[in-house]
Amino acid sequence: MLQFSKYKITLILAVLLLGLYTALPNLFSAAHIASLPSWLPARTVSLGLDLQGGSHLLYEVDTEALVKGRLEAVEDEIRSAMRDKKLGYTDLGVKGDRITFKLRDLSAIDTARAALATTTTGLQLDIADDGGVSVYFSEAALTEVKKHAVEQSIEIISKRIDQTGTKEPTIIRQGEDRIVVQVPGFGDPQRLKELIGKTAKMEFKMVDETAESTGNGPATSVQLPVIEKDGSPGQKLWIRKPVMVSGENLTDAQQGFDGGMPIVQFKFDSVGARKFGDATKANVGKRFAIVLDNQIISAPVIRDAILGGSGVISGNFTTESARDLSILLRAGALPAPLTVLEERTVGADLGADSIEAGKRACLIAVVFIAVAMILLYGLFGVFANIAMLLNAVLMLGFLSAIGATLTFPGIAGMVLTLGMAVDANVLILERVREEMRNGRSPVNAMEAGYREAQATIFDANVTHAISTMFLFAFGSGPIKGFAITLLIGIVSSVFTAVVVTRLMTSIWLRQARPKALPL
């Protein structure tokens, strides 16, 4: 039991050295690591957002709104297609997940089917014998639309965040229609949320001057609020529904100044430039509105036709809001609105405080345990303490090597592991004492102690590992961090507390050849 073959010793030392090697970078600052030779490992334990500060945001892509928007667009197309073919209909509208209407003339079903074929490409078209028509997305198409919307949203969110110069954001899809955004160390979480969450659908539309003067608008116009400098909605204007040009045709947007006032300069692509040119030429002297997410940024009077394809928005901007708007316009509009389901933002100094508190608790726990172990078990307590330190090194090394994230609860897991890990040594040493009382020789007692305690240690740790694994499987964020630390701790502590202390003990027994164990 206490005999170690050369291979075994080499293997044990190799594991310990590997742990030391991978844990090493954690001792140095990032700048220091960069200056070290490349054969040294550079990976450190990455700190969770709760320790380094940052925002964790869980978004849901509002796919219902997306589908509704798509259907409404198709509804308009159906209306004009029916009008072109002079087909009568009633009750046209979007109801739930489909467009429904009724044909007046039942003999025109085939003509209607042909007329609607192109406008409803990619959609299911059902015409019942009684003239009831419904147009909807098939199950497969719906999944595809949603998937595409989530992918597109992720792309646009990353463009937006990249533009702010923030380093290393994590943007990943979760489940069918969710997106997790993790941004370390962003100064102003409110601004971050505004940047990510704005749909940023930009449209150029005409102001309905007749409705403005009468105060009463037709069905083809809507009242939209003008956005104030502080972001709140203000006075309302009647706006015609048809879109002159939309943000999709923008190729660039930059924040600038005009007479000391912050403005946003934009450029259209060729299609956009032509549309904008035509529309402005036809409406000189009238007002048009620049509408962002159904709010009016500004509603200037068209003095001349704007033919160059570029223009300037001078709304109620601050320098920052103008800069953010130009970022949003450059990155493009989100395909569907986003809702924040969950937010966890931690300031950098709370994170630093947590690290401080965690370190302090860890250190004090180590001192408590180390002193107690020496008082209780003397020399063997020292061995157990060395094992405890090696365990900490191994945990750190392993966490670094697999790129795991250390969270605040993870630190708690480390502290807890320290206390529970010495349990293996306590079990062994108490057993050794018992064997000594039974009159065994030092070597015999040691051997029996390790042998008898082993199965118990194994069982105890496996049951502990089981509950931790489920914690890992079902936990979220920081709790996962806690579980992974605990799990690594359980494995490495069995190794250090059982194998490593046994090696130390056997070497000591061979060197000292004691007549009685100091236990």
The 8-class DSSP code of residue 301 comes to B
- Contacting other proteins (CB under 8 A), which of 270, 470, 491, 510? 470
Q: Is 185 in the site for other proteins (CB under 8 A)?
A: no
Q: Is 386 in the site for other proteins (CB under 8 A)?
A: no
Q: Is 342 in the site for other proteins (CB under 8 A)?
A: yes
Q: Is 60 in the site for other proteins (CB under 8 A)?
A: yes
- Contacting other proteins (CB under 8 A), which of 430, 440, 444, 509? 430
CA distance readout (Å), 353 to 349, 356, 489: 6, 5, 24
Min separation Cβ 319 and other proteins, Å: 18
User: By C-beta, is 180 or 289 nearer to other proteins?
Assistant: 180
List, in sequence order, every beta strand (DSSP E) within 53-201. Answer: 54-61, 89-95, 98-103, 124-127, 132-136, 170-174, 178-184
- Contacting other proteins (CB under 8 A), which of 85, 95, 229, 360? 360
Joined tokens for residue 489: 């701790």
Q: Is 426 in the site for other proteins (CB under 8 A)?
A: yes
User: By C-beta, is 64 or 430 nearer to other proteins?
Assistant: 430
Stretch that binds other proteins, among 90-98, 161-169, 281-289, 347-355 (CB under 8 A): 347-355
Site string for other proteins, 187-216 (x = CB under 8 A): --xx--x-----------------------
DSSP letter for each residue of 439-460: T--HHHHHHHHHHHHHHHHHHH
User: What does the alpha-carbon distance between residue 225 and residue 227 come to, in Å, rounded to a whole number?
Assistant: 6
Joined tokens for residue 516: 């009685």
- Buried b / exposed e along 222-242 (16+ C-beta atoms within 10 A): bebebbeeeeeeeeebbbbee
Measured at the CA of 269, the angle between CA 264 and CA 271, to 5 degrees, comes to 130
- Contacting other proteins (CB under 8 A), which of 51, 58, 237, 322? 58
Site string for other proteins, 219-258 (x = CB under 8 A): ----------------------------------------
User: By C-beta, is 55 or 119 nearer to other proteins?
Assistant: 55
User: What does the alpha-carbon distance between residue 177 and residue 513 come to, in Å, rounded to a whole number?
Assistant: 68
55, amino acid identity = S
- HSE at residue 200, side-chain half, CA atoms within 13 A, is 26
Q: Is 437 in the site for other proteins (CB under 8 A)?
A: yes
Q: Is 419 in the site for other proteins (CB under 8 A)?
A: yes
Q: Is 473 in the site for other proteins (CB under 8 A)?
A: yes
- Contacting other proteins (CB under 8 A), which of 343, 440, 441, 443? 343
Answer yes or no: are the C-beta atoms of 312 and 265 closer than 8 Å.
yes
User: By C-beta, is 16 or 486 nearer to other proteins?
Assistant: 486
Site for other proteins in 84-143 (CB under 8 A): none
Size of the site for other proteins (CB under 8 A): 79
User: By C-beta, is 184 or 358 nearer to other proteins?
Assistant: 358
- Contacting other proteins (CB under 8 A), which of 124, 176, 339, 491? 339
Q: Is 162 in the site for other proteins (CB under 8 A)?
A: no
The 8-class DSSP code of residue 106 comes to G
Handedness of CA 232, 237, 238, 240 (dihedral sign): negative
User: What does the alpha-carbon distance between residue 25 and residue 255 come to, in Å, rounded to a whole number?
Assistant: 42
Q: Is 54 in the site for other proteins (CB under 8 A)?
A: no
- Contacting other proteins (CB under 8 A), which of 467, 491, 507, 510? 467
Site string for other proteins, 11-50 (x = CB under 8 A): ----------------------------------------
Min separation Cβ 4 and other proteins, Å: 24
User: What does the alpha-carbon distance between residue 241 and residue 219 come to, in Å, rounded to a whole number?
Assistant: 9
Answer yes or no: are the C-beta atoms of 103 and 85 closer than 8 Å.
no
The 8-class DSSP code of residue 241 comes to S
Q: Is 461 in the site for other proteins (CB under 8 A)?
A: yes
| 37 contact partners, CB below 8 Å, separation of at least 6 | none
CA distance readout (Å), 45 to 347, 393, 396: 20, 12, 7
Q: Is 217 in the site for other proteins (CB under 8 A)?
A: no
